[in-house]
């Protein structure tokens, strides 16, 4: 539904803090959010659609109404938002998903004879878990070493029952990696004490265990029990080797979760290092599709709410280190403290070992995102499946090996630009991207702007093809696309079809991807094609469309910045077109130009000290007045 049809009157929306819900025509909640000022926040959803993030735009078009609930403070809004997200599971809220299944080490503490093993999947009540760990083989190797020091049961229930019935232990007992409780060689209490020592080591208390083993070894040597002293010596060496694999990263022995993210316009990846007693006890990564254009602080807030909302309260550490501090940090801190039952510190480390570790986590997050995108986009099977799905769904004779997508970007009809992106064999071909300046065009008529962009592109195609036939010279624009995708629904598709008919282009397929419900519209059809949400074909279309939007937005911002630079230079005397162009090329925004010094401007070609001083003086004279921040007393602006 068009957001203008259900937009609440501005005066009816309170300015209090609260939580809001967007609902679709079937009364299903599709998005939940919170705000310090409900009126200001909701107004941002009902501006010009072209200024919204692609997924935010799809959300507001998929909705049919918006509701809100006023609360007393930010903590209440945080708690209500968390409750509603769990209750309604809105499809437009970010859902972080593991980029892989992470192993953990478990001790079946509730059993009479606890077992230790490496596993994955759901957790059980009464068991103790450590991790998750990055590599299953690494923790298995460590466990193999630890069993030499803590010879506890590691066999399955079936193997344990059979050995108990036979009264004969397995091979692990003979090689010193099990104390053989199955044969009665050790009692339940003594075996549980061994398991407790193992868990103590995994929890980071290795120093006490080393001291204990050293004392026992010394005593055995003093009693001339050299065989036992040798076993303890070997156990101590194995313990130290296992400790070295889990190196100390925080010398102060801190317990903390260190969280960082990496993002691009389409997806965001989070990485967490769980540090216990100064050592990295586990690490984990998530990747999610972006649902809006919120900044890093907003993404961190959403992640913390989801992650600690589903984790056990005991998993909340006393310190949470993040790469960006959320605006609701005080409320989040209070919520985490309530979850843990003890004080929790939420902050951004600025220096020292914790800052170094945060930078390491950030690098891992960037690698997680890069690996995820590489797996999805370069998977030959997935690409072939996507192209085959599009061929069948759109009724094409062949798979669309070259796809071109077009988008229009502007700010309330000003600085109108267009973009063209190209995907070949399901992969972006960035050398083929094109940008269009739509000069002399004002207004919010996206169909007319699309008409001009497509006319220019396909007229050039026809001219290049004719020239190539005449002299045999290959032209880059002579490559004919198999499929043209426009960002929009049936009106945009009809506008594109009119261009094709006017130019006589009859051998290029055409489709539009609507933002409302991700419907695929074909020319001349009364109803859209609905691809499954899990379809590789739909993922490819979304990726192509979002890339065209990103490319158009980037160009529009660049043009808008240069236009603003041009306007502030109007008051500088004696500044001609050539020198204006030089300044625009060096400074893409007014902010950057205002920060430039006389010396920096003077070294630009053709500027010189006198003109540089005139520019700085003009910018200082026309600068907006500084404002006083009433909360901090600082001068801003």
pLDDT tens digits along 542-587: 888 888 888 888 777 776 655 555 566 666 666 666 676 777 666 6
Give the H or E element holding residue 196.
helix 188-202
What dihedral do alpha carbons 393, 394, 400, 406 form, nearest 10°?
-120
User: pLDDT (tens digit, 9 = 90+) per residue, 187-230?
Assistant: 889 899 888 888 877 766 656 666 777 777 888 788 777 777 77
What mean pLDDT is reported for the chain? 78
What is the band of 166 on the pLDDT scale with cuts at 50, 70, 90?
confident
**296 has a pLDDT exceeding 90:** no
Contact present, 181 and 191 (Cβ < 8 Å): yes
Which element (helix H / strand E) includes 153?
A: none
395-524 has the same fold as 256-376: yes
CATH architecture assigned to 572-628: Orthogonal Bundle (1.10)
Tell me the C-alpha distance between 456 and 459, whole Å. Answer: 5
User: Which position has the higher pLDDT, 415 or 40?
Assistant: 40
Confidence check: pLDDT of 100 > 70: no
Instruction: Indicate the helix (H) or strand (E) that contains 376.
Output: helix 352-378
Cα–Cα distance list, 350 to 230, 321, 357, 358, 631 (Å): 48, 10, 11, 10, 23
Least confident of 92-101, 255-264, 386-395: 92-101
Mean pLDDT over 357-383 rounds to 77
Structure token digits, residue 438: 């739509």
Tell me the per-residue pLDDT of 392-446, one tens digit each, with 9 for 90 and over.
Answer: 888 888 888 889 999 888 765 566 788 899 998 888 888 888 888 877 655 566 7
User: Among the CATH numbers 3.40.1440.10, 3.30.930.10, 3.40.47.10, 3.40.50.300, which is that of 3-93?
Assistant: 3.40.1440.10
Nearest alpha carbon to residue 432 among 419, 444, 447, 443 = 419
Task: Tell how many helices (H) and how many strands (E) occur in the chain.
Answer: 21, 21
Nearest residue to 42 via CA among 84, 71, 72, 9 = 9
622 Cα distance to chain centroid:
40
pTM: 0.45
Q: For the beta carbon of residue 87, count every other beta carbon within 10 angstroms.
A: 10
The candidate with the shortest Cα–Cα distance to 522, out of 492, 547, 546, is 492
pLDDT of residue 379 exceeding 60, the answer is: yes
What value does the mean pLDDT take over residues 81-90? Answer: 78
Domain ranges of the chain: 3-93, 104-245, 256-376, 395-524, 572-628
Q: Which homologous superfamily does the CATH classification assign to the domain defined by 395-524?
A: UvrC, RNAse H endonuclease domain (3.30.420.340)
Architecture of the domain defined by 256-376: 2-Layer Sandwich (3.30)
């Amino acid at each position: 539904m068009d957001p203008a049809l259900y937009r609440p009157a501005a005066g009816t929306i309170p300015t209090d803090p609260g939580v809001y819900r967007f609902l679709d025509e079937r009364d299903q909640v599709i998005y939940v959010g919170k705000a310090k000022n409900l009126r200001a926040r909701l107004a941002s959803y009902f501006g010009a659609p072209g200024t919204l993030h692609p997924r935010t735009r799809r959300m507001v078009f998929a909705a049919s109404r918006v509701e809100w609930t006023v609360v007393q403070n930010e903590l209440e809004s945080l708690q209500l938002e968390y409750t509603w997200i769990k209750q309604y599971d809105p499809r437009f809220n970010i859902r972080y998903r593991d980029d892989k299944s992470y192993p953990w080490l478990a001790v079946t503490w509730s059993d009479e004879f606890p077992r230790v093993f490496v596993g994955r999947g759901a957790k059980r009540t009464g068991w103790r878990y450590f991790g998750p760990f990055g590599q299953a083989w690494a923790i298995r190797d460590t466990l193999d070493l630890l069993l030499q020091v803590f010879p506890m049961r590691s066999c399955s229930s079936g193997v344990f029952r059979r050995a108990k019935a036979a009264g004969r232990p397995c091979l692990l007992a003979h090689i010193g990696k099990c104390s053989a409780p199955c044969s009665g060689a050790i009692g339940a209490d003594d075996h549980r004490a061994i398991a407790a020592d193992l868990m103590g080591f995994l929890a980071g208390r290795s120093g006490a265990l080393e001291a204990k083993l050293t004392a026992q070894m010394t005593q055995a040597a003093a009693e001339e029990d050299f065989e036992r002293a040798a076993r303890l010596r070997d156990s101590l060496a194995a313990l130290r080797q296992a400790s070295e694999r889990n190196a100390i990263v925080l010398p102060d022995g801190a317990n903390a979760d260190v969280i960082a993210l990496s993002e691009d316009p389409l997806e965001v990846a989070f990485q967490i290092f769980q540090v216990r007693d100064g050592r990295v006890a586990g690490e984990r990564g998530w990747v999610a599709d972006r649902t809006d254009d919120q900044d890093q602080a907003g993404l961190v807030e959403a992640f913390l709410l989801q992650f600690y909302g589903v984790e056990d309260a005991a998993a909340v550490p006393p310190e949470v280190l993040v790469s960006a501090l959320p605006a609701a940090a005080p409320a989040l801190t209070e919520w985490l403290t309530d979850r843990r039952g003890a004080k929790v510190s939420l902050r951004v480390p600025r220096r020292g070992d914790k800052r170094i570790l945060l930078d390491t986590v950030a690098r891992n997050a960037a690698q997680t995102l890069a690996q995820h995108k590489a797996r999805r986009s370069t998977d030959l099977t997935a690409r072939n499946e996507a192209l085959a799905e599009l061929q069948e769904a759109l009724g094409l004779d062949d798979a669309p090996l070259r796809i071109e997508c077009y988008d229009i970007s502007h700010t309330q009809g000003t600085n109108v630009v267009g973009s063209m992106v190209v995907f070949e064999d399901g992969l972006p071909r960035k050398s083929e991207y094109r940008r269009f300046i739509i000069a002399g065009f004002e207004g919010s008529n996206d169909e007319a702007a699309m008409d001009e962009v497509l006319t220019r592109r396909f007229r050039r195609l026809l001219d290049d093809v004719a020239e190539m036939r005449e002299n045999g010279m290959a032209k880059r624009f002579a490559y004919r696309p198999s499929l043209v995708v426009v960002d929009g629904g049936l009106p945009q598709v009809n506008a594109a079809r009119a261009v094709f008919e006017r130019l006589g282009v009859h051998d290029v397929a055409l489709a539009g991807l609507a933002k409302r419900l991700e419907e695929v519209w074909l020319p001349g059809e009364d109803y859209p094609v609905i691809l499954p949400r899990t379809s590789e074909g739909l993922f490819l279309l979304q990726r192509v469309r979002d890339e065209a939007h990103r490319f158009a937005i980037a160009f529009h911002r660049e043009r808008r910045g240069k236009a603003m630079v041009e306007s502030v230079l109007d008051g500088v005397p004696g500044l001609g077109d050539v020198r204006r162009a030089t300044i625009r090329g060096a400074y893409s925004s007014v902010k950057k130009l205002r920060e430039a010094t006389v010396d920096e401007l003077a070294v630009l070609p053709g500027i010189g000290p006198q003109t540089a001083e005139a520019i700085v003086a003009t910018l200082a004279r026309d600068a907006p007045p500084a404002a006083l921040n009433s909360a901090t007393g600082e001068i801003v602006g």
